[in-house]
Chains A and B, each alone.
Chain A
Amino acid sequence: MSIPFLLEIGTEEIPDWMIVPALNQLQNLFQELLDGNRLEGRVTSSDATPRRLVLRAEGILEKQQDIEELVVGPPKSAGAQAADRFARKNNTTVDQLTTQITAKGEYFSFNRKTPGLPASELIGSAMPGIVAKIQWPKAMYWTGKGGFRFIRPIRWLVALLGDQVVPFEIAGVKSGNLTRGHRRLGKSEIPITIANYEQSLAENGVVLSAEARRKRIEDGIREFHVKSDAELLHTLVYITECPTPILGSFDREYLTLPHEVLVTVMRHHQKYFSVLDAAGGLAPNFVAVMNTSADPEGLVRQGNERVLRARFNDARFFYDVDQHKTLADRVPDLAHVTFQAKLGSYLAKTERITALAGSLADLVGADRAAIERAATLCKADLTTEMVKEFTDLQGVVGGLYAKAQGEPEEVWKAIYDHYKPVSMDSPVPSTLSGQIVSLADKLDTLRGAFQIGMVPTGSKDPFALRRAAQGLVKIIVEGCLRLSLAQLIGNDPALRDFIADRVKYYFREIRGFKYDEVNAVLASGWDDLVDVQARLSALQAVRPTENFEPLAASFKRIANILKQADFEPAAAARVDTALLEAGPERELYDEFDRIREAARSTEYVHALDAIASIRPNVDLFFDKVLVNAPDPNIRQNRLTMLHQLLTEFSTIADFSEIVTQ
Chain B
Amino acid sequence: MDSFQETIFKLKKYWSDRGAIITEPYDVEVGAGTMAPETFLRVLGPKPYRVAYVQPSRRPADGRYGENPNRLYKHQQLQVILKPSPNDIIEQYLASLEAIGIDLSKHDIKFEEDNWEAPTLGAWGVGWQVMLDGLEITQFTYFQQCGGIDLDLVPAELTYGLERLVAFLQSVDSVYDIEWTPGVKYSEVRLADELQFSVYNFEMADVPTLWQLFELYERECQRLIDAWKDYPEKNRFPVLAAYDQVLKCSNLFNLLDSRGAISVTERVGVIGRVRKLAVGVAHLWLEQAA
Contact = CB atoms under 8 A, between A and B. Distances in A.
Interface of A: 12-13, 15-16, 50, 138, 140-145, 147, 152-153, 155, 183-184, 188, 239-240, 270-272, 288, 290-292, 295-297, 299-300, 302-304, 306-310, 313-314, 317, 336-338, 341
A465 to B, nearest CB: 19
Contact of B112 (A239, A296, A302, A303): A239
Contact of A310 (B69, B126, B128, B144): B69
B112 A341 contact: no
Contacts of A337: 263-264
Contacts of B264: 337-338
- In the complex, the 9 A-B pairs of residues with the closest C-beta atoms, listed nearest first: A303-B133, A15-B113, A338-B264, A13-B111, A304-B134, A290-B108, A307-B134, A307-B135, A300-B108
* Residue from A143, A272, A300, A303 having most chain B Cβ neighbours under 10 A: A303
A13 B142 CA distance: 13
B108 A314 contact: no
B270 interface: no
A296 B69 contact: no
Given A145-B151, A239-B112, A306 B94 contact: no
Given A144-B153, A317-B68, A338 B110 contact: no
A304 B71 contact: no
Contact of B111 (A50, A290, A308): A50
Given A141-B154, A309-B173, A314-B68, A184 B105 contact: yes
Contacts of B67: 317
Nearest to A385: B64
Nearest to A141: B154
Given A12-B90, A141-B154, A337-B264, A183 B109 contact: yes
B186 to A, nearest CB: 15
Nearest to A308: B134
Contacts of B64: 317
Interface string B123-155: 001101000111100000010100000111110
A155 B87 contact: yes
A13 B91 CA distance: 13
Contacts of B144: 140-141
Contacts of B173: 306, 309-310, 313
A341 B134 contact: no
B238 interface: no
A661 B225 CA distance: 75
Contact of B126 (A138, A183, A302): A138
B107 interface: yes
Interface string B17-30: 00000000000000
A313 B126 contact: no
Contacts of B154: 140-144, 147
A12 B111 contact: yes
A299 B133 contact: yes
A297 B106 contact: yes
Given A140-B142, A303-B134, A291 B126 contact: no
A299 B106 contact: yes
Given A303-B133, A303-B168, A13 B128 contact: yes
B157 to A, nearest CB: 13
Given A314-B70, A341-B265, A307 B133 contact: yes
Contacts of B168: 303, 306
Contacts of A138: 115, 126
12 contacts: A138-B126, A140-B125, A142-B85, A144-B84, A183-B109, A240-B110, A292-B108, A300-B133, A302-B133, A313-B173, A338-B263, A338-B264
A384 to B, nearest CB: 14
A182 to B, nearest CB: 11
Contacts of A304: 133-134
Nearest to A50: B111
Contacts of A338: 263-265
Interface string B150-191: 111110000000000000100101000000000000000000
A300 B260 contact: no
Contacts of B133: 299-300, 302-304, 307
Contacts of B106: 295-297, 299-300
A142 B142 CA distance: 8
Contact of B171 (A145, A300, A306): A306
A288 B105 contact: no
Interface in B67-103: 67-71, 84-85, 87, 90-91, 94
Contacts of B115: 138
B216 interface: no
Given A272-B134, A306-B173, 7 more contacts: A13-B128, A15-B113, A142-B142, A306-B171, A310-B69, A313-B69, A317-B67
Contacts of A336: 260, 263
B110 A303 contact: no
A317 B62 CA distance: 13
B104 interface: yes
B111 A300 contact: no
Contacts of A272: 134
A150 to B, nearest CB: 11
Contacts of A183: 90, 94, 109
Contact of B108 (A16, A291, A310): A291
A162 to B, nearest CB: 29
B214 to A, nearest CB: 19
Contacts of B90: 12, 183
Contacts of A300: 106-108, 133
Nearest to A299: B106
A204 to B, nearest CB: 14
Nearest to A152: B126
* Residue from B85, B104, B113, B260 having most chain A Cβ neighbours under 10 A: B113
Contact of A184 (B70, B109, B132, B265): B109
Contacts of B91: 188
Contacts of B152: 144-145
A6 to B, nearest CB: 23
Interface string B45-79: 00000000000000000001001111100000000
A621 B105 CA distance: 86
Interface in B208-258: none
Nearest to B144: A140
Contacts of B153: 144-145
Contacts of A152: 126
Contacts of B84: 144
Contacts of B151: 145
Contacts of A288: 134
A291 B134 contact: no
B107 A299 contact: yes
B15 to A, nearest CB: 20
Nearest to B115: A138
A141 B155 CA distance: 11
B158 to A, nearest CB: 14
Contacts of A295: 106, 108
A540 to B, nearest CB: 44
A338 B269 CA distance: 14
A303 to B, nearest CB: 3
A99 to B, nearest CB: 61
Contacts of A188: 91
Contacts of A240: 110
A147 B154 CA distance: 10
Contacts of B126: 138, 140, 152
A500 B2 CA distance: 66
B108 A313 contact: no
B107 A303 contact: yes
Contacts of B71: 314
B85 to A, nearest CB: 6
Contacts of A16: 113
A169 B115 CA distance: 28
B72 to A, nearest CB: 12
Nearest to A270: B134
Contacts of B134: 270, 272, 288, 303-304, 307-308
B282 to A, nearest CB: 15
